Amino acid sequence: MPLADDFLDVRTHGFARVAVCVPQVRVADPTFNADAHLILLERVHGQGAHYALCPELGLSAYTCGDLFFQETLLRTTLDGLARVAERTARWNLLFSVGLPLVVDDLLFNCAVTLYRGRPVAVAPKAYPPNYREFYELRWFHPAAAARATEVTLLGHRVPFGTDVLVRAGHLPDFVLHTDVCEDLWTPVPPGTIAALSGATVLANLSASNVTVGKLEYRQELVRASSAKNVAVQMYSAAGFGESTADLAWDGHGLVAERGEIVGETERFSLTGNAVTVDVDLRAQVEDRLRQSSWGQNAAHHGRTLRIVDVGDAADAREVGVYHRFLRRIEPHPFVPADPAKRDVRCRETFLITATSLARRLEALPEETRRVLLGVSGGQDSALALLVAAHAMDLLGLPRSRIMGVTLPGFGTSKRTYEHACALVRALGATLREVDIRPLAGEMFASIGHDPAVEDVTFENVQAWARKFLLFSLASQERGIDLGTGDLTELALGFSTYGGDHMSHYGVNAGVPKTLVSELIRWAAEQIFKDEPEVAAVLQGILDTPISPELLRLGRGGEIAQRAEEIVGPYELHDFFLYYFLRFGFGPRRIARMAVHAFEGRHALATIRRWLDVFLERFFANQFKRDCLPDAPKVGSGGSLSPRGDWRMPSDASAAAWRAEVEKIPQEPGEQRARPTLVEARARERRSGPRRR
């Protein structure tokens, strides 16, 4: 049944809630095992799970050995399945359990998927292992040995085979495929074929004993499967209670999506454990749309599989269960929260930009391998200067070939001016100063503009004066002008066309604002760790408010123009940019994710306000991005180069996106009327594009 248009409900934004259960197990005791399964299934159902995965042979236990041939064990295992089915008949929970099953007078290791008290699919293990500690072929036959394509189970005819997908109408984009343990470890897993045939959730029922080093291998296996298949990969291994005659068990459960682990159980629990997490199915669909090679591979290897549709029954659980995400959404998607990963990201980014600049310089005649850049005392120009210094070091050229130019204007503060000069000197670059005010004054006089009026023209003329002088110096010095503008500024159009938006090469163009600060900190600690004067200046720069310094200073000489007061918090804009550019998500979904990511820091009304500004500015300023200078792409989040990730008409309308913003409530729980596109276009005309 279709869901109500509830902004807070995570289900309305393309997420599904899944769980991995690792119940306590007792060898050859299906009654105990069924009850242990029900304990965890009831728990995750109460948490709002739509699908739950349990371990391989969990109803019988994996380590039964020759007891698998005992009539009593097989019969009581079916009784345990019936018990679980009966107890869950009223739940809106799809789940898979493992048990031995006789089909065609052969024994199979099976995954049985149930919904509302009845089995809907049975998947036999395709590749039972028979090496080292595994002897499964002693008891179980591979799926290929079966003749039947359907079985009667608990009184129902059920599809049987590795070629069955389960679809849930109440979960858009949810298409399930199950396989068993070793199947995932093979070169061509059944799950891969299923993903190429339409499955979005791959579930692997596993036993998997634990040995030293296996933890990391499992994690990499599950992560890699989710990445290459552009799918959710779930994994549930047997836990406490399996026989330890020759093996040990850790009860490892994992959920990964698109190459990242998003949920993991606590291992070595003596009482069973589970993890419940919201998985992003819409992101998968968006990725599959973009990855043309994935589509080509699907066309070549995908098959027509059987599909079981379990319907779309109403969910009796309280809607409030879905008003909070059960997953972490990073507020800074460009900057890893984990310090170790952040260091790796900074190293990669810094070296990408430095080696790219080195390559560009190497392509020039030796005597012209010089760099000029405007150094303002702000973060962007500081990062570009650090990159230029390292590029020169890599090439074995003296840093004196870098000319750091201070260009004081009407809004230049004493603090930033001193930072600029100190950083150039500390790095051993060449310092040059050119005051832009005389040239700007001549331009004002030429066009008859009153310099006392601090309007857009007042700002733009200064930006053009700076760029004209930098290009002139580059010509005089026979070097290249290095751009300092970053990815966030390009997205917002917060740069002057033909002014700070232009250069001979832009090293920061792929670096978002939130990453710039981290790169400066990292470079101070790693690349320039033996130059304490550099680190000292950089700390001062990081402590200074971000400003274009194009308006006159306050009475006390303080900076009067703060960028984030004009365009909004950069951390929000980077969040918007990542999900808009990387996945193509709509404003409503981005806003809901931002509410969770920035809980306690930015209210919904604030998020909504600046999201509208982001969209307005992004669409209005495409003309600047259409003629960007060369610059290296840095992250998988994308770039805005017209020769790379982003191609868009500069006269495209933002009306549809801004109309969707209007549907976002000002406060959680508020319902808003939907504006028409005509109303949105009228609003767009009234606001007009704010261009610099």
Nearest of 43, 46, 51, 58 to residue 19 by alpha carbon: 51
35-54 pLDDT, tens digit each:
999 999 999 999 999 999 99
For residue 222, give both structure tokens: 């599950």
What number of other Cβ atoms are within 10 A of residue 611's Cβ? 26
3-state helix, strand, coil in the chain (%, to 5): 40, 15, 40
Q: Give the number of residues written for the chain.
A: 692
In whole angstroms, give the CA distance from residue 579 to residue 40. 34
For 159, the token pair is: 């599809």
pLDDT of residue 57: 97
Cα–Cα distance measured from residue 527 to residue 383, given in angstroms and rounded to the nearest whole number? 12
b/e for 68-100, b at 16 or more Cβ within 10 A?
Answer: beeeebbebbbebbbbbbebbeebbbbbbbbbb
* Backbone Cα Rg of the chain: 30
**Strand ranges of the sheet holding 94-103, from the earlier edge strand across to the other edge:** 118-124, 106-115, 94-103, 51-53, 15-22, 273-280
Beta strands in 393-537 (DSSP E): 402-406, 430-433, 480-483, 505-506
Statement: residue 678 has pLDDT above 70: no
- Determine the average pLDDT of the residues in 559-572: 86
Do residues 340 and 580 touch, judged by C-beta distance below 8 A? no
- Bridge-partner residues for 330, per DSSP? none
Q: State residue 3's pLDDT score.
A: 65
pLDDT for the residue 684: 52
Burial zone of 198 (CB within 10 Å; 0-12 exposed, 13-18 middle, 19+ buried) = middle
| Structural tokens at position 511 | 């670096």
DSSP 29-57: -HHHHHHHHHHHHHHHHHTT-SEEE--TT
Those residues with Cβ within 8 angstroms of residue 172's Cβ, 6 or more apart along the chain or in another chain: 14, 281
List pLDDT tens digits, range 505-560.
999 999 999 999 999 999 999 999 999 999 999 999 999 888 777 788 888 887 77
What pLDDT score does 690 carry? 43
Distance CA 333, CA 518 (A): 13
Cα separation, 398 vs 392, in Å, equals: 6
CB-CB contact of 250 with 219 (8 Å): no
d(CA 125, CA 26): 22
Please give the angle made by the CA atoms of 137, 140 and 144, to the nearest 5 degrees.
95
Distance CA 126, CA 132 (A): 19
Q: Which helix (H) or strand (E) holds 306?
A: strand 306-309
Cite the active site residues.
Answer: 56, 125, 181
**Rounded CA gap, 116 and 682, in Å?**
50
Q: Which amino acid is at 439?
A: L
Angstrom distance (rounded) from CA 639 to CA 503? 17
Which band of pLDDT confidence, cut at 50, 70 and 90, is reported for residue 170? confident
DSSP letter assigned to residue 337: S
pLDDT of residue 27: 97
Are the C-beta atoms of residues 253 and 237 closer than 8 Å to each other?
A: yes
Which contacts of 551-554 are long-range, i.e. CB under 8 A and separated by 24 or more positions?
551/410, 551/411, 551/454, 551/458, 551/459, 552/410, 552/411, 552/454, 553/411, 553/413
- Confidence at 407, pLDDT banded by 50, 70, 90: very high
C-alpha to C-alpha distances, 373 to 381, 452, 536, nearest whole angstrom: 8, 29, 21
Q: 686 or 367: whose pLDDT is higher?
A: 367
Q: Give the separation between CA 136 and CA 290, rounded to whole angstroms.
A: 41
The three-class DSSP label of residue 426 is: helix
What superfamily does domain 15-314 belong to in CATH? Answer: Carbon-nitrogen hydrolase (3.60.110.10)
497/511 Cα distance (integer angstroms)? 19
pLDDT at 635: 84
Q: Structural domain boundaries of the chain? A: 15-314, 339-567+621-652
Q: Which of 355-364, 539-548, 616-625 has the lowest mean pLDDT?
A: 539-548
- Percentage of the chain beyond pLDDT 90 is 85
- Give the pLDDT confidence score for residue 546 in this predicted structure: 84
What is the SS3 string spanning 217-286? Answer: HHHHHHHHHHHHCCCEEEEECCCECECCCCCCCCCCEEEEECCEEEEECCCCCCCCEEEEEEEEHHHHHH
Residue with tokens 């069955």: 164
- Choose among 403, 410, 377: nearest CA to 388: 403
Asked if the model's pLDDT at residue 426 lies above 70, the reply is yes
Tokens standing for residue 361: 């310089």
DSSP string across 165-220: EEE-TTSTT-EEEEEETHHHHSSS-HHHHHHHTT-SEEEEE------TTHHHHHHH
Burial of 489: CB neighbours in 10 Å, binned 0-12, 13-18, 19+: buried
Q: For 99, phi and psi rounded to 5 degrees?
A: -160, 160
| Residue that has been written with the tokens 């984990």 in this structure | 338
- Determine contact, residues 274/20, Cβ cutoff 8 Å: yes
Query: H/E element holding 146?
Result: none
Q: What CA–CA distance (Å, rounded) separates 561 from 668?
A: 33
Neighbours of 458 (CB within 10 A): 20
pLDDT per residue over 189-201, tens digit each?
999 999 999 999 9
Query: Mean pLDDT, the chain, as a whole number?
Result: 93
**Amino acid 688: pLDDT:** 46
111 contacts 126 by C-beta, under 8 angstroms: no
- What dotted CATH number matches 339-567+621-652? 3.40.50.620
Q: How many CA within 13 A on the CB side of residue 617? A: 22
pLDDT of 323 > 90? The answer is yes
pLDDT of residue 602 exceeding 50, the answer is yes
Residue with the bigger pLDDT between 637 and 320: it is 320
Residue 415 has pLDDT above 80, yes or no: yes
Range 398-407 average pLDDT = 97
Residue with tokens 């006269």: 651
